[in-house]
Every structure is written in structure tokens, then in C-alpha cells.
Amino acid sequence: MLARMEGTQEPIVRLTRHFTTPFDVTVASARTCYAPRVIEPQEVSIDERARSRRDRIAQSIYQAGHHTTFQHATFTFALERVSRQFIWSFLHSHPFYNSEQVSQRYVEVRPGNFVEPPLSEAGRELFRRTVAGQMAAYADLTESLEGVVRREYTALFPHRDADAKRWASVRERKQMEVARYVLPVATQAHLYHTISGITLHRYHRLSQQFDTPWEQRRVVEGMVLCVNEVDPDFLRLAEDPIPLDETPEFRYFAALEEVPGRPGGGAYVLEFDESLRGRVSLLVDSKPNAEETMAQAVRDVLGVTRDAMANARAIDLVLNPAQNRYLADTLNLTAHAKLTRSMVHPHFTFRKKLSHTADSQDQRHRLTPGSRPILARHVQPDQPDYIVPPLIASEAVCRDRYVRSMEEAWAGIRGLLDLGEPLEYAMYLLPNAFPIRFEESGDLLAFHHKWTKRLCCTAQEEIWAACRDEVAQVASAHPAIGRFLGAPCALRLLAKETPYCPEGDRFCGVPVWKLPVERYERVL
């Protein structure tokens, strides 16, 4: 099913996979809870009497909040012409979805692939001119980074022919990966996005919240149109969207007689940045008895006494890859295996600062959720605010071009605000480099999976740096746990799995498995 709204810049929403009768499945699953057998979906709508009963049950369970029955029906949407800002702010801001989207690290961004908000004629002209400048900076940096990337690559792999096609493509992708920081968050993306029926209800209810209500309404309306075409009954109970001015976030600002959705002050940004003490990610809270609690959980699982198993032995049994083969399995069995579920008890909270583009990857680790901001409150129109990748910082020509692009982007934002355009629309000009400041929490089970994946030197550099900070701090606070944390190659070394690096041609060039986490370094 296809929902295409008017206008060349409108999003394209296609429903590619769905349950045949999602509403009937919802009620059939509810009736099964109180039946001596499984109720089949076709039974609940076989005749008028059955349909009347179906509708009463559906209304009753929806109003009572018994929403698990609405999760059985899932919908897979193919989305096109949606912005990175919308994906970050709305689609990926919760854990109840699955997405596969085009990567800016590996796919070149072409001119014209940008979402354009409904601006005035003067605003539209300024917006397009600013975006054109950002695209020019992207092209310039992609080209000018060639020298420094080649130099760093040759230093890592002196025996490789840097001009060979297979290695040249690796370097070109690294150039694009870094150059993308100057692209605006208005850049379009396409993706598959799968959600359950109850998540679709929630999307509809919250489609007018901060930060991208204009784009959210358009995409969610497209999703609703698609589902209504295959089953007009499924969303019949959907409640009206909560208007933006009735959300608690909006009312908070209104109570202070501030203008909701207007830029925040620099005092918050300064306070937050100083609190990080030079780190990308700062451990601000953890359970003080994490090791003892986890060890006792292991003893509980195995039914052994403290005398039979000391804390160190219990933790070693779970976290040491030489003892626990689950940690070397690429299928990630840890949430399903009995012993490794003991890792849910240690818990950590980090204060983090990542660029918009890095956080868009970080938030995909849905079991380590963060309280991401109302972005409008972090924007300072008079003060460019951005992350500088190490590769850019290492080369004067690249750094100067990068800084100029940032200044031009902020000039465009100020210009739109001076024209009276809403900050919501002006924020589409924010570069990928704009910092996201937030708190992130999770248990050891979720963080272990994330750290193992992201401490690989082929991972995105900012997330890699954040994970390095996190593991080093956890190891300092909880050494019995920290001694088994490291890059995937380091864990494979402990497990005696060869080759230690499983990446093949994508090997980073450094025998990381020989290094402690605090000595992890990289530029490329």
C-alpha cells in the first residue's frame, strides 16, 4: 500500500508487509486468554453477532490499557524523503521498533536530497542557499580529506597498495564518513521501519510533540492511511493527537512565560560541558554493590552457596569468554541464557555529548535508552555549537573549511529566525555536527553488547570514544567486572577464538587485543 501526499517534497510512505486481519488477530488473542483453546482470527468476525462481540472486547481492552494484544499485529513501512532530524527525534527515540536505513557513512549524499519545511518565499530562498553551501562544504571536505586519510591509512597498512581499488574505496568511505558532519539534519533518508500496532497508536497520539511536529504529522498520517486501506477497523479506537500546546513540555515553558520552542540559553550548555570534565561520556551513577549483587544472582541461578562460589569466581564464570561461550556467539544469546541474565543487575548512568550524526547511531542501541533533549532548547542562534572530528582537527585546511561551513549554517539559522520563520523549521539547517547532550542508562547486559560492538576501531569514532570512556570508568569503579570488558578482538583472545580480529579485510591495522582499554587510540 502506498500513501503519497501532494507536493514533490512530501514523504513517501509504503506499507510493504502486514497482517491480513490485524484487528481480528488483536481480539482473537484477547479471547484466547480466557478460552480452553486458541481462538482463530476468522472466528471473531464470522457473523454479525461475532463482530459485535469483537468490537465490544476491543473497546474494553483498549480503554482498560490491556494493550499487549495490539502488539501481535506488526506493520513494515518503507519510508522515503524523510529527514534525519525526524528519524532521530521521533522514529528512533523509543525502543519499540526495528529500522534499517541508508547509511551516510557508506552512501554519498547527492544534491537535492533534503527535506524542505513550508517556509515563506524569502525563507525558502535562504534555506536552499544555505543547504547548497553545506553541500559544497561536504564535497570540498570529501576531496580535501583525501591526503590526510591516505597518510593515516598508509601508516596503518604500510604493505598495502593504497591505490588499489579495494583499498581506495575504503579510504573514500572514510572521507565521506567525516565530511558528512557538515551536512544538515534536513538530509533525506530512506528506510524500512517495522512497528507493532500499539506503537502505531502511540505515534498517532504523540505526532504533534517537539521537535518535528510538522514532519511527524505528515509521515504518521501516511502510515494511518496505509493501515486503514488494509483494515479500516484496526485504528478505529485511535485517540486524537495531543495538540502541541497541551503537551506537558509545552505547558512547562508557558508557565514560565517563555516562548515554547524558542532557543535556550548558553548557561545550560556551559554547565553541561564543564560537568563532563573533558570526557565524551562520564559515569555519573552506578550501583555501589554491583559486583556483589551480580555474583549473588549467579549463585541463585546455579543454586550454590557463597562458600561454594566466591564473588570473583561467579563473575569470572559469566564475563570471562574463556568460561562463557555465549560471549563469543555472534547471535547474541545473552538475554536468553540463564547465566548471562545475571548481568541485568549492575546498572550504569552516563552523561554524554555526541554529535547529532553519532547519536543517531548510538540511539539504535535501544536497551541503553537516553533522555534526549527538546533540541530547540539547546540551540543558540548567535553561537555556533558543534563537534569537530579528530581527522578534521588534524588538518588545517580541512579545519578551516569546516569552521567556515559551521558559521554559514548558523548564519542561515539566524537569517530564517530574523524572517520570522519558526525555530522548528530553522533547525533543519543544523549540521550533523550539532551536539546532543543527554543522560543514558542501562544494565551491564545491554552495555556489554554495545561496548563489544562499538569498541572495534571500525566503529563510528565518537561512539567508540564514548565506549572507551565508559569501560575505563566502569573498570575503575568495579574492577572484577571491568577486567573482562574490551574490544571484540580482546574478548576473542580470551576465548582463544582465531583470528582474533573477525573483520577480515576490514581489520583496523592495530593489534588492539594486546592493549588495555585506557590505551585505545585512533584518528582514522
Grid cell locating 2: 502506498
Residue 3 confidence (pLDDT): 53
Cα 399 to Cα 460: distance, rounded to the nearest angstrom: 19
Nearest to 287 by CA among 442, 440, 455: 442
Residue 261 confidence (pLDDT): 60
Cα 493 to Cα 103: distance, rounded to the nearest angstrom: 31
Amino acid (one-letter) located at 72: H
Residue 169 confidence (pLDDT): 86
Q: Are 342 and 375 in contact (CB under 8 A)?
A: no
Residue 259 confidence (pLDDT): 64
Alpha helices in 73-193 (DSSP H): 84-86, 121-144, 146-156, 165-179
Give residue 342's region: left, alpha or beta (phi > 0; psi -120 to 50). Answer: alpha
Residue 5 confidence (pLDDT): 36
DSSP code, position 420: T
Grid cell locating 320: 570471562
Grid cell locating 130: 544555505
Residue 161 confidence (pLDDT): 83
DSSP code, position 109: P
- In the chain, % helix, strand, coil (3-state, to 5) comes to 50, 10, 35
Containing 351, the helix (H) or strand (E) segment is strand 347-355
Establish how many alpha carbons lie within 13 A of residue 200's alpha carbon, considering only the half-sphere containing its beta carbon. Answer: 30
Amino acid (one-letter) located at 105: R
pLDDT in tens, the chain (524 residues): 555 433 347 999 999 999 999 999 999 999 999 999 999 999 999 999 999 999 999 999 999 999 999 999 999 999 999 999 999 999 999 999 999 999 998 899 999 999 999 999 999 999 999 999 999 999 999 999 999 999 888 888 888 887 888 888 888 999 999 999 999 999 999 999 999 999 999 999 999 999 999 999 999 999 999 999 999 999 999 999 999 999 999 999 888 877 656 666 788 999 999 999 999 999 999 999 999 999 999 999 999 999 999 999 999 999 999 999 899 888 999 999 999 999 999 999 999 999 999 999 999 999 999 999 999 999 999 999 999 999 999 999 999 999 999 999 999 999 999 999 999 999 999 999 999 999 999 999 999 999 999 999 999 999 999 999 999 999 999 999 999 999 999 999 999 989 999 888 889 989 999 999 999 998 88
Q: Where are the domains of the chain?
A: 2-102+187-250, 121-186+388-430
Which three-class secondary structure string do you get for 173-211? Answer: HHHHHHHHHHCECCEEEEEEEEEEHHHHHHHHHCCCCCC
Residue 1 confidence (pLDDT): 58
* DSSP string computed for 210-224: SS-HHHHHHHHHHHH
Alpha helices in 208-347 (DSSP H): 213-230, 248-255, 266-275, 290-302, 311-319
Q: Give the count of beta carbons closer than 10 Å to the beta carbon of residue 95.
A: 12
In angstroms, the first-to-last Cα distance of the chain is: 43
The domain 2-102+187-250 is classified under which CATH number: 1.10.10.60, 3.30.1360.170, 3.40.109.10, 3.40.1360.10?
A: 3.30.1360.170
3-class DSSP assignment, residue 308: coil
Residue 90: CB partners within 8 Å, gap ≥ 6? 203, 212, 215, 216
